[in-house]
A and B are shown apart, each in its own frame.
Chain A
Amino acid sequence: MREQRRKDAVWRFLTYTFVLTATVVMLVPLYWMVVAASLPQELFIEFPPRLYPGTSFFENFTALQERANFVRSIGNSVFIAVVYTVISILLCSMAGFAFAKYEFRFKEPIFYVILATLVLPIQLLVIPLFLMMSQIGWTDTFRAIILPWLANPIGIFLMRQNMQSIPDALLESARMDGATEFQLFYRIALPAMRSSVAALAIILFLFQWDLFLYPLVILEDAANYTIPVALAGLEGTQRVYYDQIMVATSLAIIPLAILFLFLQKQFVSGILAGSLKE
C-alpha cells in the first residue's frame, strides 16, 4: 500500500517535471517574442540578449502601422478565417453526414477520391487556381481565397468518422416522427457532433489562418493582405526590422489564443472522439 503510494508519487513527480519542462520549452520563444517586441532595435541585436521587457512596444507598433497597416491585416485574416470556417463546417458536416448515413452509387470511390486529394500539396494547386481566378476576374478578392478550400477533405473525413457513431435507430425513429432529411441532419446529427465541430473549427480556422503562398499570389492591394502575407512583406534584404516583426507576430497570435481558449475543452474531446469503436 505504502509502496504503491510512493511509486505513484515518483511517477507524478516525473510526469510533472516532464510536463513542466515541455511547457517552459514552449513558452520561452513566446516570452522572447513579447520581450523583443518591446525593445528598441539597438537592444534587440544586443548580445547576450536582454530577457526582460523594454518600453518601446508602442513605438514599434506605430512604426509597424506606418509601414504596413497591420491592424487591417489582422481584421482581414479574422474575417476570412471566420467566414471560411463557418461555411466550411456546414459543408463538411453535410458531406460527412451523407457519407456516413446514406447509401448511394459510387459512394466509396467518391469518398476515396476526396481523401486522395489530401496528397496534393497547396504549391501544386496555386498556379491553376491563380489562372482560374484571374480568368473569372476574382484576383485580389477575399472570395477567391475562401472558395477553393471550402470542401475540405480533412473536414469531410473527420465528420464522416464521427457521424458514423450516430445510431441508425435514432435517425429512423425521427423519420417515423415525420422529420425531413435536412431536419435529421440539422436537429439530430449536428447537435450530437458539438465537440467534433469545435475541433474541426480549430483545424479549419488554423488552415486558413496559416495559408501563405496562395493569398500572396491572389492578393494585390496591400489593404487586402492577410497576416502571413503582411508579415512576409516586412522582411527586407539587408535591414530586417525584427522589432516590428515581433510586434506583428505578438499581435497575430491573440485571435488564435482567444479561439483556442473558447474551444479548448471541446477540441481535446473532439480529437479523441471516434478513436473508440464499439
Chain B
Amino acid sequence: MPHNTNSMYGRRRVLGGLITAGTFAAAGCIGTDDPDGNGGNGNGDGNGNGGNGDGNGNGGNGDGNGGTEMAGSIEGWGWDVAARSLQLTAEAYEEEHDASVTVEEFGRSAMKDDLQTRLASGSGAPDVAMLEMVDGHSYIDTESLADLSGHIEDADVYDDFVPGVWEALSTEDAIYALPWDIGPTAVYYRRDVYDEHGLDVDSIETWDDVLEEGQKLPDDVYMLNLPPGDLAGVWRYQFRQLGNNPFTDDGAVNIHDEDSVTIARTMKELYDADIASMLEGWSSAWFGAYESGEIASLPSAAWMEGTLRAELPDTAGDWGVYKIPAFESGGPRASNWGGSSLMIPAQIEEPERNRGWDYIQWSLATEEMQMLMFDEFGLFPALETTYDNEAFDEELDFFGGQAARRLFADVAQEIPDYRFSVDTPEVSDAINTEFERMLRDDIDPEEAVMAAAETVADRTDRELA
C-alpha cells in the first residue's frame, strides 16, 4: 500500500518540514513572492505527513483538496553529472521558493538497483528521480510511476520539447516523465588527420562517401571504430535514423526488415574495406587511438564533447563534427543516442508530488535552468525553446572554431520517434552476437539480422513481423 510509508520516512519529512518551517519563521513569514502562493505550506505539509508516517492512512487526503497543496521538502535522486546538475537547479529553486530540495548522488547501477527495489516494494522511493530514456518503458510497465500528463497539460509545456523524445516516456494515454537531456548524434572527426591525408569533409553525405574518403587513409589509420561490445548501439542509432522501430505497433519483432539489412551490410562493407578498427569502446586502447589520431572519426552524440574535453585535453582544437552519414543521397541524417528524464514514483503522496512536479518543471521546462545545466555539465537540452539561445552559435575552440552546438540543435529537431521496451536488452544482446559473427565472416548480413530477429522473438515470446 503506497500510503504505508515507514515511520523513518515520515519522521524525516516532518523534520524537513519543521526545518523549512523554522527557516521560514525566522525569515519573518512575510513577503513571500512565491508565484504559487504556497507560503504556509512548509508548516502544513510537515504536520500532515507526520500523521501519515504514524500509520494514519488518510493523512495525505486529510488536509483536504490535495490538488494544489505542496510539500515543504522533497528528495531527488540522480547519478554523476545529472545529480550535480540537479543540485544546481535545486539551489536556484530554493532561493525562489519556500521549499527544500535535497539531492542524493548515486552510482549509476547502484541507483537503479536501489530505486527498483523501492519502487517494487511500494515504499521509500525518492520524490523525484532521474530516468534514462532507454529504461523508460521498463519502468512504465511496472506501473510504479505517476502519470504526469495532467501536470504537463496544465503547464502547457508539451510542445516546448523536441518531438522525438516523448515516445520513450509515454503510453497511449499517459506521460510518465519530463524529458531532460538528449543525445543528438553526429560524427566527431579529427580535423588534423583528415587534412593530413586529404579527406574532404564536405563531400561526405552518405556511407558510400565515407567508404570512398576512408580509402585515402594509410593502412595504419582507421576511418572509424566499430566497438565489438556495442555494435547494437551503432545499429540502434542507425535504425532510429531510418525512422524505424524494433517492434511494430502490435508488438511483433521488426529488426529484420530491409532497413536493418542495409545497416548490417554497410557495417560489413566498412569493416571489409579495412577502414574500421574494432576496439572495445571506452577502453584505454580506444582512448589512446583517438588521442594519437589512429582512428580519425567517432560517430557519437552531443555528450561526447564533455568526455573528449576531459579525457583527451591535448586534442583540443583538432576536432570537428558533421551529421551522421545517410544511407542514400538525400536520406535522413539525424538520430539520438542516450538521454534522460525526471519522473515521480506513483507511491509519492499528493503534496510531495505537487512539489516534485513544480521542481521538475522549474528545472527542465525553463530555458534558464536548462542552459545552466548545459553550460556547467554539457547536458544537451531536450527543451527545444532553448535552441534560439545564442550560446548555440558560439564558435568553440575545441572544435577548431566550429559552432558545433548549432549542428547538434539542428539534428535534435529532426530526431525520429523511437520506442524502447522492456525487451530492449534482448534486442541489444541478439544484435551484438549476430553482428559480431557477421563481421567475422561466419554469416552474411541477411542471415545476421534474421538470426537476431528469431532469437529475440524466441526469447521474448513475440511474433516476427
The reply to whether chain A is a binding partner of chain B is yes
Chain A residues at the B interface, C-beta cutoff of 8 Å: 44-47, 49, 126-127, 130-131, 134-135, 137-140, 213, 216-217, 220, 229, 231-239
Query: How near does chain A come to B76, taking the closest CB pair, in angstroms?
Result: 14
* Bound complex: CA A134 to CA B113 (Å): 17
* Bound complex: CA A91 to CA B8 (Å): 30
Q: Which A residue's beta carbon lies closest to that of B282? A: A240
Query: How near does chain B come to A210, taking the closest CB pair, in angstroms?
Result: 15
Are A135 and B4 in contact, with the CB atoms below 8 A? yes
Are B284 and A45 in contact, with the CB atoms below 8 A? yes
Q: Is B6 an interface residue (CB 8 A)?
A: yes
What residues on B are CB-neighbors of A45 within 8 Å? Answer: 284, 287-288, 311
Which of B35-43, B100-108, B190-198, B409-417 lines the interface with chain A?
B100-108
Q: Which 5 A-B pairs have the closest CB atoms?
A: A236-B80, A134-B6, A232-B110, A47-B288, A235-B107
* Bound complex: CA A139 to CA B7 (Å): 10
* Bound complex: CA A17 to CA B11 (Å): 62
- Kindly identify, within residues 1 to 58 of chain B, every residue whose CB is under 8 Å from any CB belonging to chain A: 4, 6-9, 11
* 15 A-B pairs whose Cβ atoms sit less than 8 Å apart in the complex: A45-B288, A47-B288, A49-B284, A131-B122, A134-B8, A134-B123, A137-B8, A216-B113, A220-B104, A229-B110, A233-B110, A237-B81, A237-B108, A238-B307, A239-B80
Query: How near does chain A come to B58, taking the closest CB pair, in angstroms?
Result: 18
Are A139 and B8 in contact, with the CB atoms below 8 A? yes
Are A238 and B118 in contact, with the CB atoms below 8 A? no
Count of B interface residues, CB-CB < 8 Å: 36
What residues on A are CB-neighbors of B307 within 8 Å? Answer: 238-239
Given contacts A216-B110, A233-B106, A233-B107, contact A127 B80 (CB under 8 A): no
What residues on A are CB-neighbors of B108 within 8 Å? Answer: 235-237
Q: Which A residue's beta carbon lies closest to that of B53? A: A137
What residues on A are CB-neighbors of B109 within 8 Å? Answer: 232, 235
Q: Is B285 an interface residue (CB 8 A)?
A: yes
Q: Which A residue's beta carbon lies closest to that of B338? A: A237
Known: A47-B285, A236-B81, A239-B311. 5 other contacts (CB 8 A): A46-B288, A127-B121, A135-B4, A232-B107, A232-B109
Are B6 and A217 in contact, with the CB atoms below 8 A? no
Are B124 and A238 in contact, with the CB atoms below 8 A? no
* Bound complex: CA A232 to CA B105 (Å): 11
What residues on A are CB-neighbors of B114 within 8 Å? Answer: 216-217
What residues on B are CB-neighbors of A237 within 8 Å? Answer: 79-82, 108
Are A238 and B306 in contact, with the CB atoms below 8 A? yes
Query: How near does chain B come to A49, taking the closest CB pair, in angstroms?
Result: 7
Q: Is B303 an interface residue (CB 8 A)?
A: yes
Q: Mark B104-139, 1 if CB is under 8 A from A, else 0.
A: 111111100110011011111000000000000000
Query: How near does chain A come to B336, taking the closest CB pair, in angstroms?
Result: 16
Are A139 and B81 in contact, with the CB atoms below 8 A? no
Given contacts A45-B311, A238-B306, A239-B311, contact A137 B6 (CB under 8 A): yes
Q: Which A residue's beta carbon lies closest to that of B288? A: A47
Are A127 and B79 in contact, with the CB atoms below 8 A? no
Are A134 and B9 in contact, with the CB atoms below 8 A? yes
Q: Which B residue's beta carbon lies closest to that of A242? A: B284
What residues on A are CB-neighbors of B82 within 8 Å? Answer: 237
Q: Which B residue's beta carbon lies closest to that of A139? A: B8
* Bound complex: CA A126 to CA B297 (Å): 45
Are A127 and B120 in contact, with the CB atoms below 8 A? yes
- Kindly identify, within residues 87 to 105 of chain B, every residue whose CB is under 8 Å from any CB belonging to chain A: 104-105
What residues on B are CB-neighbors of A127 within 8 Å? Answer: 117, 120-121
Are A135 and B118 in contact, with the CB atoms below 8 A? no
What residues on A are CB-neighbors of B306 within 8 Å? Answer: 238-239
Query: How near does chain A come to B18, taking the closest CB pair, in angstroms?
Result: 18
Q: Which B residue's beta carbon lies closest to that of A219? A: B114
Q: Which B residue's beta carbon lies closest to that of A141? A: B8
What residues on B are CB-neighbors of A239 within 8 Å? Answer: 80, 306-307, 310-311
- Kindly identify, within residues 279 to 301 of chain B, every residue whose CB is under 8 Å from any CB belonging to chain A: 283-285, 287-288
* Bound complex: CA A127 to CA B82 (Å): 27
Given contacts A46-B288, A134-B6, contact A217 B117 (CB under 8 A): yes
Query: How near does chain A come to B85, taking the closest CB pair, in angstroms?
Result: 12
* Bound complex: CA A236 to CA B83 (Å): 10
Are B118 and A217 in contact, with the CB atoms below 8 A? yes
Query: How near does chain B come to A186, taking the closest CB pair, in angstroms?
Result: 38
Are B8 and A140 in contact, with the CB atoms below 8 A? yes
Q: Mark B259-285, 1 if CB is under 8 A from A, else 0.
A: 000000000000000000000000111
* Bound complex: CA A131 to CA B123 (Å): 7
Query: How near does chain A come to B78, taking the closest CB pair, in angstroms?
Result: 10
* Bound complex: CA A131 to CA B7 (Å): 12
What residues on A are CB-neighbors of B81 within 8 Å? Answer: 236-238
Are A234 and B6 in contact, with the CB atoms below 8 A? no
Given contacts A45-B284, A134-B8, contact A238 B113 (CB under 8 A): no
What residues on B are CB-neighbors of A137 within 8 Å? Answer: 6-8, 11
Query: How near does chain A come to B10, taking the closest CB pair, in angstroms?
Result: 9
What residues on B are CB-neighbors of A216 within 8 Å? Answer: 110, 113-114
Query: How near does chain B come to A269, taking the closest CB pair, in angstroms?
Result: 38
Question: Which listed residue (A44, A139, A231) contacts B6, Cβ 8 A?
Answer: A139
* Bound complex: CA A44 to CA B288 (Å): 11
* Bound complex: CA A139 to CA B109 (Å): 21
What residues on B are CB-neighbors of A236 within 8 Å? Answer: 79-81, 107-108
Are B117 and A130 in contact, with the CB atoms below 8 A? yes
What residues on B are CB-neighbors of A229 within 8 Å? Answer: 110
What residues on B are CB-neighbors of A232 within 8 Å? Answer: 106-107, 109-110
What residues on B are CB-neighbors of A126 within 8 Å? Answer: 117
Are B284 and A47 in contact, with the CB atoms below 8 A? yes
Are A238 and B303 in contact, with the CB atoms below 8 A? yes
What residues on B are CB-neighbors of A233 within 8 Å? Answer: 105-107, 110
Query: How near does chain B come to A176, taking the closest CB pair, in angstroms?
Result: 54
Query: How near does chain B come to A178, taking the closest CB pair, in angstroms?
Result: 50
Are A135 and B6 in contact, with the CB atoms below 8 A? yes
What residues on B are CB-neighbors of A217 within 8 Å? Answer: 113-114, 117-118
* Bound complex: CA A31 to CA B307 (Å): 28
* Bound complex: CA A216 to CA B307 (Å): 28
* Bound complex: CA A213 to CA B113 (Å): 7
Q: Which B residue's beta carbon lies closest to that of A237? A: B80
What residues on B are CB-neighbors of A49 within 8 Å? Answer: 284
Are B287 and A47 in contact, with the CB atoms below 8 A? yes
